[in-house]
Structures are given as C-alpha cells and as structure tokens.
Amino acid sequence: MFKFLKDKINNFKSVISNTTQSLVGNVLLNVDDSDERYSEFTLDDIEDTLISADLGVNYSTELVDNLRKQKNAKPSELKNYLKEEFKKTLNEAGPTELNYKDNELNIYFITGVNGAGKTTLIAKLAYKFRQEGKKVLVAAGDTFRAAAEEQLNIWSVRAGADIVRRDKADPASVVYEAIQKAKSEHYDVILVDTAGRLQNKFNLMEELKKIKTVIDKQAPESLRESILVIDANTGQNGLQQAKVFGECVNLTCAALTKLDGSAKGAIILAIAKEMKLPVKLIGIGEKMDDLKAFNADEFIDALFS
Ligand SMILES: Nc1nc2c(ncn2[C@@H]2O[C@H](COP(=O)(O)OP(=O)(O)O)[C@@H](O)[C@H]2O)c(=O)[nH]1
Ligand SMILES: [Mg+2]
C-alpha cells in the first residue's frame, strides 16, 4: 500500500485543537465529576454544546437520550462515554483506507461544491501518487471556468501528472478522452475534477450523472472511489450538500478539507453517523504535502488525550 496512507500526522493534536475544544473541552465543562448523576439541566446543556460543535441535532440528541435512559450514568464517565460512542460511529462507517488496485487503472471521481477544495485535493493526490512512482492523468472536468482549468493545469504539471483538458467542452467528453488515453498509454490513476455550481443544481447533477455513466461504460471495473469533498468549516451545511451529491453519484467516501484551524471537525462524525460514509482523506493546509490519510484511532486519540 501507499506510504502516504501510512504516514502519521505530525502535531495532529494541534491541527485539531479547535475541534477538540468545541467537541470535548466545552462538553466536559458542563459536568462536575463529583456529581452522582446527571440533572436534566446538565443533560440539556450537554446536548446544546454537542450541537454547537456541529455534531448534528439527531446524533447529539441520541447521545444524550442514551445517558438519560441509563439510570446509573455517571458524569465522571462522560469523557469515556463519548470516546466509545465516537469510536463506534467511525467503525460503523467502514474502513478509512483509500482503495487502490495494483496493475490496474484506478479512477477517482471527485465532487463537491465550489470552493470546497476539489482542485487542490486533486493536485495533492496527484503529487502523492507521483511520489510513489505512479503514472497519473488528470481529467479537467470543470470546463465551465477557464481559470479553474488553468489552475488545475499548473498544479498538475507541478505534480508531474498529465492532463486532459478541452475549453468549454462537455465534461463527460473530457472524461471519455481521458479514459481512452489512460487505457492506451497504461496509466495507473485518473483523477476526475468536476464543477461545483450548486446555483444550478439540476444541470450540475445531470452533468455529474453523465460523467458517472461514461466511467461505468468505458471502465466499469476502474472506479475506485467516488469522493465527496467537504470544507470542514461549512459544518452542517456540508452534510446537507453531501445528501444532494449522494443522490446522484454513488459516493464511497468523503474528504474533509481545511481541517487546519477549524473548530467544526466534528463533521467527520456527523458524516459517518448520518451518511454512513467514511472520511478517508483530510486536508490540513494549502501545501502539496498537506493531504493526509484519515485514521480513526489517531483522530480519537488526538481528541481525547
Ligand atoms: N487551509 C486550507 N486551505 C485549503 C485546503 N484545501 C483547499 N484550500 C483552499 O481552498 C480554496 C479553494 O480550493 P479549490 O481547490 O480551488 O476548490 P474547488 O472549487 O472545490 O476546486 C483555495 O484557496 C485553496 O487553497 C486545506 O486543506 N486547508
Ligand atoms: Mg476546482
């Protein structure tokens, strides 16, 4: 497997310190360890604090209702309770390792709203794959914005990847061309960039479905991951977006960008709980090297240590 998927994150604790504060620190402020049991007042405060941390209303309510039902639940055990529940939620969403098959074509289909960080994620992924000697092709499927294509071009060249781009062309035809090229020239990886204009939701969703159909027809065994890119700072809005995209492309995982500095990293848990989607990649900065594999144990350890 890829080295970059095994790399530990330096200072992960400090990267997610704002999330830790809002999700664990602030919640624990509601309880006094010496209390024998939870008061109704305390339970309400815990629920509000979890919701403010962007864990989502349903999940927050469920966690607190569980405490309410357990007559022996002790405030001094709140930290451990949350830790075990969060672990369970992440486990249930499935494995977090990015799928890749050696000696085959691997296609990664990247979607998400404008500004979420798709193009940056593709550049970083291209860079990581290139570093491990893979032959990488980028399909510039955001043909609407010339600037977007140019940005992708610069990044791809810098990463040492090749690119298929055609100004103003139908994105599905760009992807078609990329697949033909990848097959005849034996590429290991295709990264498909897409547009994200939610203002015209119907057209965007049709465009994405069309790309998906091209991949399914031209390379049915090759779609390795369908990745939804979410900006950590969008919190619950990000989750709403996930639902819209999930209805038209079969998402297999999420990538959470801009986790650096964000206080809303709890969205990782909300995505796992509500969408049953594992977060597999996290963006922790703007540099090429600032893409990391998400590891549930590492995340839980950093949150609760
Ligand atoms: N701090 C930080 N900024 C990021 C990260 N990922 C992307 N960005 C920034 O977010 C902005 C939008 O990214 P872009 O890839 O163009 O989004 P797209 O519209 O989805 O393709 C750019 O300014 C990126 O530099 C990240 O992990 N951390
Ligand atoms: Mg883009």
CATH label of the domain that carries residue 187: 3.40.50.300
Residue 283 lies in a domain: yes
Nearest residue CA, atom 6 of ligand 1? 117
Residue 71 lies in a domain: yes
**Do 256 and 125 reside in the same domain of the chain?**
yes
**Domain end call among 92, 117, 132:** 92
Q: Is 21 in the pocket of ligand 1 (CB under 6 A)?
A: no
**Do 116 and 205 reside in the same domain of the chain?**
yes
Closest atom of ligand 1 relative to the 284 alpha carbon? 27
Residue 286 lies in a domain: yes
- What is the rounded (10 degree) CA torsion for 10, 11, 16, 17? 180
Q: Is 278 in the pocket of ligand 1 (CB under 6 A)?
A: no
* Structure confidence at residue 250 (pLDDT): 92
Q: Is 116 in the pocket of ligand 1 (CB under 6 A)?
A: yes
Tell me the C-alpha distance between 225 and 99, whole Å.
Answer: 7
Q: Is 52 in the pocket of ligand 1 (CB under 6 A)?
A: no
Q: Is 260 in the pocket of ligand 1 (CB under 6 A)?
A: yes
Q: Is 165 in the pocket of ligand 1 (CB under 6 A)?
A: no
* Structure confidence at residue 6 (pLDDT): 81
Q: Is 283 in the pocket of ligand 1 (CB under 6 A)?
A: yes
**Do 200 and 64 reside in the same domain of the chain?**
no
What's the 124 CA to ligand 1 centre distance in angstroms?
11
**Which residue from 213, 181, 51, 204 is spatially nearest to 113, judged by alpha carbons?**
204
**Which residue from 152, 190, 145 is spatially nearest to 167, judged by alpha carbons?**
145
Domain membership of residue 81 as a residue range:
12-92
Nearest residue CA, atom 7 of ligand 1? 117
* Structure confidence at residue 239 (pLDDT): 87
User: What is the 3-state composition of the chain as percent helix, strand, coil, each rounded to the nearest 5?
Assistant: 55, 15, 35
Quickly tell me which residue has 């998927």 as its tokens: 5
**Do 72 and 190 reside in the same domain of the chain?**
no
Tell me the C-alpha distance between 168 and 27, whole Å.
Answer: 50
Q: Which two tokens stand for residue 27?
A: 């919640």
Mutate to test the pocket of ligand 1, among 120, 127, 142, 193 (most ligand atoms within 8 A of CB): 120
Sheet of 291-293: strand order equals 162-164, 136-141, 189-194, 106-111, 223-231, 253-257, 279-283, 291-293
**Do 222 and 126 reside in the same domain of the chain?**
yes
Average pLDDT by stretches of 10, the chain with 305 residues: 81 94 96 94 97 96 96 94 98 96 97 93 95 95 77 84 90 97 98 89 92 97 97 90 88 96 94 95 94 96 94
**Do 135 and 274 reside in the same domain of the chain?**
yes
**Domain end call among 92, 124, 140:** 92
**Do 133 and 85 reside in the same domain of the chain?**
no
**Do 148 and 290 reside in the same domain of the chain?**
yes
**Do 66 and 113 reside in the same domain of the chain?**
no
Q: Is 77 in the pocket of ligand 1 (CB under 6 A)?
A: no
**Do 154 and 179 reside in the same domain of the chain?**
yes
**Do 31 and 152 reside in the same domain of the chain?**
no
Residue 219 lies in a domain: yes
Number of domains, the chain: 2
Ligand with an atom nearest the CA of residue 15 = 1
Tell me the C-alpha distance between 101 and 188, whole Å.
Answer: 9
Ligand with an atom nearest the CA of residue 197 = 1
How far CA 72 is from CA of 45, 50, 85, in Å, comes to: 19, 21, 17
Residue 128 lies in a domain: yes
- What is the rounded (10 degree) CA torsion for 59, 65, 70, 74? 70
**Domain end call among 92, 124, 144:** 92
3-state secondary structure of 111: strand
**Do 81 and 127 reside in the same domain of the chain?**
no
Nearest residue CA, atom 5 of ligand 1? 258
How far CA 92 is from CA of 97, 127, 288, in Å, comes to: 14, 31, 31
3-state secondary structure of 193: strand
What's the 144 CA to ligand 1 centre distance in angstroms?
18
Q: Is 112 in the pocket of ligand 1 (CB under 6 A)?
A: yes
What's the 195 CA to ligand 2 centre distance in angstroms?
6
Q: Is 124 in the pocket of ligand 1 (CB under 6 A)?
A: no
Residue 172 lies in a domain: yes
* Structure confidence at residue 208 (pLDDT): 95
